[in-house]
Structure 1
Amino acid sequence: MQRRSFLKNATALTGGAMMPNALKTTRVQQPKKIGIQIYSIRRELQKDKVGPLKTLRDIGFTHVELYGYEQQNKKGSILGYSLKEYRKLLDDVGLAATSSHLEPPLKSLYKFGDGGGTGKGERSIQIETYTKGNAGAILEFWKRAIADHHELGVDVLVQPAMPIVNKLDDVKRVCEIFNQTGELARQANSRWGYHNHSAEFKRIGAKRGEDWSPEMTIMKDSYPSEIFYDFLLTHTDPKLVFFEMDVYWAVMGQCDPVVYFNRYPGRFQQLHIKDRDILGSTGFMNFENIFKAAYATGGLKRYYAELEYPSTISGASASQMEAVRQSYEYLAKSSFAK
């Protein structure tokens, strides 16, 4: 399917119907509990680790999803702070940390494409292939990370990096390790999930850089006709592994979030709400359909706003924090985000 045809037909897209002046609004009777992935203000945090968090609280955000966890010298840290220090920092600011992004310390391969302004290209954050040889180290990482996050007061851990898979056996091993990781979390009264970008919506075994189309079904001596993301959903235990869908990157992978919510009800406990720019400013994403389907199919516990490329389309000079503020206002005023 050509990208243009997909964008025209997908129920996740608006065709311009959700531009800001057409947004349905309602008076907010009670403040909503709106979260944000603090990666959205990464530039601000490089200059000041505390002030921007206070600004998030003042804007109205009630909780955050963390990034920046590391394991060094047998001591866990967040953005350079000890776990104890960072928990106190958040308590003092008045923000609750409810989830955290982290990944095993394996070799990484990043492909950023141009997922912002033009919407072209793909986004993938991949780590080296899971093998029998590194499986033990991966599980040891998660065991310690789960304990560290208990010290932080965070009981939800999310992996945002896709292990490289070249054949069916690779992805089977990924599912096995995901289930084992989820079991470690369950035993510690935590939850473990997986976050997508766009590369997850390619077919298993496709050559790197090769785009898939419906005509490619099964190629000679190559790979089964199944999307990697679907394989994860059907071969991981729902009791052990949940999914945090980044709805924007699903669309950029030419897949419709609404279809996935209906096809796999209850699997998507968290969402990343993202647009090409400031939330609701582009007409690209139909957030109303997305939220309604996510609530209707069950399982959704939290959603987090996230901005990666603010002000790339509009040409406005909004700062990263101002883009976050406008995105919060969009969600707070909407009639569909609870």
Structure 2
Amino acid sequence: MYERRTFLKNATALAAAGMLPASNAWGAAGAPTQKKIGIQTYSIRRQLKQDMVGSLKALKHIGFSHVELYGYEQQDKRGAVLGYSLKEYRKMLDDIGLEPTSSHLEPPLKSFYKFGDGGGTGKGARSIQIETYTRENASTVLEFWKRAIADHHELGVPVMVQPAMPLVHTPDDAKLVCDVFNQTGELAREANMRWGYHNHSAEFERIGAKRGEDWSPEMEITHDSYPSEIFYDFLLTNTDPSLVFFEMDVYWAVMGQCDPVAYFRRYPGRFPLLHIKDRDVLGSTGFMNFENIFKAGYASGGLERYYVELEYPNPATSASPSQLESVRKSYEYVANSAFVK
């Protein structure tokens, strides 16, 4: 772990923290002879809106073997993915030859999006947060997950991941989050499924720390009362490893001023899934040391899958490279990297 001031002086060095790819199928034993590279479909969200089938076929043509879905929603009495019924979407993936191995979704609470640089370019902090869990809304959250589990069973997707952080102001808030996470994980286990959590950068702030547009040094909690624990560490130490896994987004961990490699070593086996991300096309910026990350990830044990994800570039003009072109270049980087199994 780096101190914040030290990190800011050595951002590139810390970025040497990396990511791991998992070449094994979830739960399978033995390594395949060919790399199995996954992608979070959010990476081509613009193209999906324009041409769903054509865009998914393009992912298959590039070489991706499996996908992590985004866009699940609960519509009245039926679930859907990006406007398609569960059966329609699964058939589309089957026809194309893409295996849906995981899905991102979050409970229906008020959302808060923050971009540290004000523009969402990926060069500042980012948080995707939802309103604080309370004893009153916890039942609503759990009912959402009960239905989502049934829907994903129908969809044939065995893994669900929450990518939104409940706001926490006190240690009691954090304890309730862990309690709800454990209950959700138990619901998934009862259905022979898995449930986990995906980070952005806000998780690496300390519980109770004041941040945001209105923050100033004078607002900081005094040293005597300042809660010492990082929220992400609190989650790791207060959730049941048999119920809750973690899908680390290594880029946002670095942007949260923490070292993914240190987490792999400190909490071995807790990170079966990873998001591989850079400020732009993977490996093009020199900001992330993916080799160190992959090596540490493999060494820590437990890595099962990884997903390429590009949040940026998000081209707004026809002159910009398409998201699919950026994804293709990122695939080639992973496929050609000797340190990726």
Say yes or no: TM over 0.5.
yes
Report the alpha carbon displacement of residue 227 of structure 1 after superposing the two structures with TM.
0.3
- Counterpart of 2:160 (choices 145, 157, 161) is 157
Task: Answer yes or no: is 1:219 the counterpart of 2:223.
Answer: yes
Matches of 2:123 and 2:323 in 1, distance apart? 22
Q: Sort the Cα spacing of 1:122 and 1:132 in 2 relative to 1 into closer, same or farther, 3 A.
A: same
Q: Which residue of 2 aligns with 1:95?
A: 98
Question: Higher relative contact order at CA 8 Å, sep ≥6: structure 1 or structure 2?
Answer: 2
Matches of 1:241 and 1:81 in 2, distance apart? 29
Q: Sort the Cα spacing of 1:117 and 1:171 in 2 relative to 1 into closer, same or farther, 3 A.
A: closer
On the 8 A contact 1:63/1:95 being kept in 2, the answer is: yes
Task: Answer yes or no: is 1:123 the counterpart of 2:126.
Answer: yes
- Over the matched positions of the two proteins, sequence identity in percent amounts to 74
Task: Answer yes or no: is 1:333 the counterpart of 2:336.
Answer: yes
Task: Answer yes or no: is 1:74 the counterpart of 2:74.
Answer: no
Q: Which residue of 2 aligns with 1:146?
A: 149
Q: Which residue of 1 aligns with 2:174?
A: 171
Report the alpha carbon displacement of residue 244 of structure 1 after superposing the two structures with TM.
0.2
Report the alpha carbon displacement of residue 32 of structure 1 after superposing the two structures with TM.
1.1
Q: Which residue of 2 aligns with 1:19?
A: none
Query: The residue matched to 1:50 in structure 2 has which SS?
Result: helix
Report the alpha carbon displacement of residue 208 of structure 1 after superposing the two structures with TM.
3.1
Q: Which residue of 2 aligns with 1:25?
A: none
TM-score by length of 2: 0.88
Q: Aligned-pair RMSD on alpha carbons?
A: 2.1
Matches of 1:228 and 1:211 in 2, distance apart? 21
Counterpart residue identity of residue 246, structure 2: F
Q: Sort the Cα spacing of 1:217 and 1:265 in 2 relative to 1 into closer, same or farther, 3 A.
A: farther
Query: The residue matched to 1:157 in structure 2 has which SS?
Result: strand
Report the alpha carbon displacement of residue 74 of structure 1 after superposing the two structures with TM.
1.5
Matches of 2:278 and 2:43 in 1, distance apart? 12
Q: Sort the Cα spacing of 1:303 and 1:208 in 2 relative to 1 into closer, same or farther, 3 A.
A: same
Q: Which residue of 1 aligns with 2:14?
A: 10
- Counterpart of 2:40 (choices 14, 37, 58) is 37
**Cα deviation code 1:98-155 (max 9, x no counterpart):** 0000000000001133499975421100000000001111101001101100111101
Task: Answer yes or no: is 1:60 the counterpart of 2:40.
Answer: no
Matches of 2:178 and 2:222 in 1, distance apart? 22
Stretches of structure 1 that go unaligned for 5 or more consecutive residues are: 15-28
Report the alpha carbon displacement of residue 5 of structure 1 after superposing the two structures with TM.
1.9
Q: Which residue of 2 aligns with 1:20?
A: none
- Counterpart of 2:255 (choices 252, 267, 280) is 252
On the 8 A contact 2:123/2:279 being kept in 1, the answer is: no
On the 8 A contact 2:37/2:307 being kept in 1, the answer is: yes
Q: Which residue of 2 aligns with 1:323?
A: 326
Matches of 2:143 and 2:120 in 1, distance apart? 40
Report the alpha carbon displacement of residue 336 of structure 1 after superposing the two structures with TM.
1.3
Aligned residues: 317
Matches of 1:307 and 1:11 in 2, distance apart? 17
Task: Answer yes or no: is 1:104 the counterpart of 2:112.
Answer: no
Report the alpha carbon displacement of residue 337 of structure 1 after superposing the two structures with TM.
1.3
Matches of 1:126 and 1:211 in 2, distance apart? 21
TM-score by length of 1: 0.89
Counterpart residue identity of residue 236, structure 2: L
On the 8 A contact 1:277/1:311 being kept in 2, the answer is: no
Matches of 1:264 and 1:206 in 2, distance apart? 24
Q: Which residue of 2 aligns with 1:137?
A: 140
Task: Answer yes or no: is 1:86 the counterpart of 2:89.
Answer: yes
Q: Which residue of 1 aligns with 2:307?
A: 304
Report the alpha carbon displacement of residue 317 of structure 1 after superposing the two structures with TM.
3.7
Q: Which residue of 1 aligns with 2:269?
A: 266
Stretches of structure 2 that go unaligned for 5 or more consecutive residues are: 19-31
- Counterpart of 1:196 (choices 195, 199, 224) is 199
Matches of 2:202 and 2:120 in 1, distance apart? 19
Q: Which residue of 2 aligns with 1:290?
A: 293
Task: Answer yes or no: is 1:182 the counterpart of 2:192.
Answer: no
Counterpart residue identity of residue 141, structure 2: I
Q: Sort the Cα spacing of 1:331 and 1:189 in 2 relative to 1 into closer, same or farther, 3 A.
A: same
Counterpart residue identity of residue 327, structure 1: S
Query: The residue matched to 2:45 in structure 1 has which SS?
Result: helix
